[in-house]
Amino acid sequence: MIEILEKIEGEAEVEYSFVSGEIKDVVVRFPHYRGIEEILQGRAALDALVIAPRVCGICGHAHLQAAAMALERAFGCKISKKAKIIREITRFAEIIQNHIKWFYLVIFAQLHIPYDFRKVHQAIVLANRLIALFAGQSPHSSYAIAGGVTCDITHVELLQAKAIVQEIEEILFDLLGEFDEKQLSKDLAKLFEALKSKNLLQIGKSLDRFITLSEDSVVKNVKILHGKRRKTSLRFVQERAFEGSYAKGVLYRGKFYETGPLARMMQMDLPFIKRLHRRYKDSITTRIFARIYEAKLLLQIIAEHLDQIDLNEPSYIPCKVVDGMGYVSIEAARGSLIHKVAIKNSKIANYSIITPTQWNLSNGTKENPSLLQKAIIGLRDREKANLVFRSFDICSVCTTH
């Protein structure tokens, strides 16, 4: 049985194989092709800053910053602490607005849970307004360049940013309440009760392996396997083509790992997340709550970042185009995003992108199932399977780059 899943930032074909009413196999195919990597070949090196972010209109800041970082690595450039902080503020704000949209417009909608759309929309608008103070136009801003950022913010804009963060915090508290270990409230309680009443709390358990290939003020580049943490290296990342799909699968040393908010939150000693994982493992319950918890956490970090900006530091340090190779990972909303560029004669000789959805929606084998396959096989209900599918916050557009 083949089903077209939409409302996942694009669409995908999902083929379910049933035996005696139970899903025995699932295969995901992405039927579209865009060719951004081929378009970049032969272009001037700095064209990557304009073309690569067009991979996605949802996580364009992550792609822009990944392109800038890859070029900086190739050119051997350094950036100021101020530029690093500003990049994290805009990227974290992008993640926050994505998580809020996904939480309400996808998960709440599929579970038929009522919510205050006006307040949700207001929080999303404010997050985008925060980004605009630093990045300007939306989508596809061009403020991040090799060498730093183009914005040179003022004290007044910093005060405006702080006021916006406080307003978002108040709205999210009004919507969600506290992430209390013993007693959830407001929309968090609604979600938990909906999952419980529909017997969904334990579904979607997968391989219980997590990976983060990036390093920033929130996470380190580590994998978590059997509860043990090990440092990761991009050289062990492997792409694998799958017949009938334009999306390649991704493994780390031959194993599938989950990337994204749950992977990031599992790195941290967060009592709320640890309690959920002890009880529900890597089910949709833990995966969903980890994503919205991250929105709250990142908002707090943005507030701290705003206090750390030194207006006297340069926003940009001159960066000269030279031949070289840059290989970087950065955390996007859905997980670790990889950009790799080779520059020869000041032009792009090769450009490669690996997106988070490629990690989470790879197609494995019976002996080595992928994250999604492990999470869905055994279910008897396509609606439940589709909910598990969406719990990974899929982006078909990024995946078909």
- Nearest by Cα to 237 from 220, 264, 212: 212
Q: What average pLDDT does the segment 61-68 reach?
A: 96
Q: The pTM is what?
A: 0.95
Where residue 95 falls among pLDDT bands split at 50, 70, 90? very high
Which range of residues forms the domain containing residue 176?
Answer: 2-399
Amino acid identity of 61?
Answer: H
- What tens digit of pLDDT does each residue of 131-152 get? 999 998 777 889 999 999 999 9
More confident: 318 or 58: 318
What pLDDT score does 336 carry?
96
- What tens digit of pLDDT does each residue of 352-365 get? 999 998 999 888 88
210-212/222-225 β-pairing: antiparallel
For the chain, the domain total comes to 1
Reply yes or no on whether the pLDDT at 32 is more than 90.
no
Where residue 9 falls among pLDDT bands split at 50, 70, 90? low
What pLDDT score does 3 carry?
55
222-225/148-149 β-pairing: unpaired
Q: What average pLDDT does the segment 364-375 reach?
A: 90
- What tens digit of pLDDT does each residue of 380-389 get? 988 899 899 8
Euclidean distance between CA atoms 358 and 337, whole angstroms: 10
More confident: 42 or 181: 42
What pLDDT score does 68 carry?
98
Reply yes or no on whether the pLDDT at 56 is more than 90.
no
- What tens digit of pLDDT does each residue of 34-45 get? 889 999 999 999
Reply yes or no on whether the pLDDT at 307 is more than 80.
yes
More confident: 261 or 245: 261
Instruction: Look up the CATH number of the domain holding residue 184.
Output: 1.10.645.10
Reply yes or no on whether the pLDDT at 247 is more than 80.
no
Buried b vs exposed e over 1-19: b needs ≥16 C-beta within 10 Å?
A: eeeebeebbbbbbbebeee
What pLDDT score does 347 carry?
97
Please tell me the total number of residues recorded for the chain in this structure: 401
Q: Are 309 and 86 in contact (CB under 8 A)?
A: yes
Q: What average pLDDT does the segment 330-335 reach?
A: 96
Count other Cβ atoms within 10 Å, centred on residue 361.
Answer: 28
Q: Are 101 and 8 in contact (CB under 8 A)?
A: no
